[in-house]
Amino acid sequence: MNLHAVRAIYLFEMHRWFRTIVQSVAAPVITTSLYFIVFGAAIGRRMPEIDGVSYGAFIIPGLIMLSILTESISNGSFGIYMPKFAGTIYEVLSAPISVVEIVLGYVGAAATKSVVLGLVIMLTARVFVDYSIAHPLVMLAFLVLTSVTFSLFGFLTGIWADGWEKLSIIPMMVVTPLTFLGGSFYSIDMLPEFWRTVALFNPVVYLVSGFRWAFYGVSDVGVGVSLMATLGFLVLCLAAVAWIFRTGWRLKT
């Protein structure tokens, strides 16, 4: 294991993040705070409790997950796309670095950013809503696993993209709608039976549900199912990365 290479890539990505800290952290936190003000304070006071949890507290896991998914994909995709755009990807590919070390450096940095962002939003939520965490270790495990999985998915998006506009297609046109429709602001048990069945095909439902269970012990689907769904998606992403580096697709052309 070339730890020097992993450390170099990781620190380079983290330093770039610190240079854009306002855009990377402050902007998502302010946006999420506005959600808390509108949905938690204004609308939440008129909403009944959901599964014994106040509405303002109920939406916290969904809002954190919305930010984590978006930022993980954005950070993961931008980190690998920049070397492609600048042409320095060939230096990385020709260096004595394995695929595992490249992925650890880029994806590890992107996941670290997402975990930090999630924890900051969690602390910010304390200003607006009083909440508790029933299973802190499970919550932290879901936070890290989701950040790693979608940072890896963002890494794949950055390899696939051949233009700047494509970097925002997946987060804005796919992930954000799925998150809004994945039970972030409501329980899918509140939906009619047909739409509840349709919602179960939304992968974000399992992420939000498992994360919410870690907070309050309530969920739309079993926590074991949520964990297996997340791990399954992680395995698919790892298989796709292995194939890309073996064939050189979108990296050497």
User: Which pLDDT tens digit goes with each residue over 11-50?
Assistant: 999 998 888 877 778 888 888 888 888 776 667 667 778 8
CA distances from 134 to 59, 73, 110, 131 (A): 15, 28, 27, 10
Helices and strands, counts by H and E, the chain: 14, 0
What's the whole-model pTM score? Answer: 0.90
Q: How far apart are CA 72 and CA 110, in angstroms?
A: 6
Burial class (CB in 10 A: 0-12, 13-18, 19+), 169: middle
**C-alpha closest to that of 103 among 213, 234, 220:** 234
Contact 192, 200 (CB under 8 A): no
Burial class (CB in 10 A: 0-12, 13-18, 19+), 45: exposed
Q: Kindly give the interhelix angle for 3-19 and 60-86, rounded to the nearest 10 degrees.
A: 110
- Dihedrals φ, ψ of 99, to 5°? -60, -40
Selected residue with higher pLDDT from 168 and 101:
101
Predicted local confidence at residue 41, as pLDDT:
67
Predicted local confidence at residue 42, as pLDDT:
66
